[in-house]
């Protein structure tokens, strides 16, 4: 009986010895941590929790972040556009050649003297007056009576006849007309109508009973076709 109990005790010790001899992984780690803590305490250093500083994938990465592309904007122009050939601006003092053009010279009228301008103003003052055959101002005018009246106001006597007025004075070309010159037309025959030039291609005359004293254009179709010439009676 005693031999049997002794054998059982030996068997149990043999089975339990490996378990007691080999520490577990957790026991090994704990032992190492305890040893390092004891070492740190002896050296005066603060113990470190190594479980909190374990490396991660992000910390061990050797790849550097690719830098953002450089964006250069100068005067509102992208960098890519600045690579093109520069445009040289012209300086303020640089003179640009101007192409000369030739134009037709405008027709200029001879400058009127004071007497001629006064005749034109006097004539325009009677615009709208009645046309009366044979009259020279007593309630109305006919064409030669109107021009006779105007020149008489300036001390120049003219006959009461378009044809006779044409025979006096100095001949004037159409391009050299000035205010106060008399212009003649062939309306009902040769030299049957007269008026006074007032500038800007216009003349004033006692036209007919329907229109009275009025203003017309020398270049109007009717009068341009019947124009005969002009005369000047002042210096």
| Side-chain-facing half-sphere of 26: CA atoms under 13 Å | 0
β-sheet bridge partners, residue 230: 172, 183
Strands (E), the chain: 73-74, 77-78, 170-172, 182-185, 193-199, 202-206, 213-217, 227-232
Query: Is 193 one of the catalytic residues?
Result: yes
Instruction: Supply the DSSP symbol for 111.
Output: P
Spatial contact of 233 and 169, defined as CB atoms under 8 Å apart: yes
Give, in degrees to the nearest 5, the angle at Cα 199 between 137 and 102.
170
Buried b (16+ CB within 10 A) or exposed e, 16-26: eeeeeeeeeee
143 counts as catalytic: yes
List the Cα angle 230/233/235 in 5-degree steps. Answer: 115
Task: Given the residues 13, 15, 126, 143, select the one marked as catalytic.
Answer: 143
Q: Which of 13, 15, 126, 193 is catalytic?
A: 193
Helices (H) and strands (E) in the chain, counts: 7, 8
Q: Is 114 exposed, middle or buried (0-12, 13-18, 19+ CB in 10 A)?
A: exposed
Please say whether the beta carbons of 182 and 231 come within 8 A: yes
**What are the residues whose beta carbons fall under 8 Å from the beta carbon of 123, sequence distance 6 or more?**
146, 150, 196, 198, 204
Residues catalogued as catalytic: 143, 193, 205
């Amino acid at each position: 009986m005693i031999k049997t109990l002794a054998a059982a005790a030996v068997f149990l010790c043999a089975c339990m010895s490996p378990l007691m001899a080999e520490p577990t992984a957790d026991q090994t780690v704990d032992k190492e941590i305890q040893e390092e803590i004891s070492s740190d305490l002896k050296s005066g250093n603060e113990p470190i929790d190594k479980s909190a500083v374990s490396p991660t994938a992000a910390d061990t990465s050797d790849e550097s972040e690719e830098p953002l592309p450089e964006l250069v904007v100068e005067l509102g122009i992208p960098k890519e556009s600045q690579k093109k050939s520069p445009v040289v601006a012209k300086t303020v003092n640089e003179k640009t050649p101007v192409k000369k053009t030739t134009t037709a010279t405008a027709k200029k009228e001879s400058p009127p003297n004071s007497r001629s301008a006064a005749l034109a103003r006097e004539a325009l003052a009677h615009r709208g007056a009645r046309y009366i055959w044979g009259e020279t101002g007593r309630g109305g005018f006919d064409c030669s009576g109107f021009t006779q009246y105007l020149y008489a106001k300036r001390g120049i006597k003219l006959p009461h006849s378009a044809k006779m007025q044409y025979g006096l004075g100095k001949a004037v070309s159409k391009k050299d007309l000035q205010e106060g010159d008399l212009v003649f037309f062939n309306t009902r025959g040769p030299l049957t109508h007269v008026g006074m030039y007032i500038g800007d291609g216009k003349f004033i005359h006692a036209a007919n009973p329907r229109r009275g004293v009025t203003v017309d254009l020398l270049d109007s179709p009717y009068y341009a076709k019947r124009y005969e010439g002009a005369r000047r009676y002042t210096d």
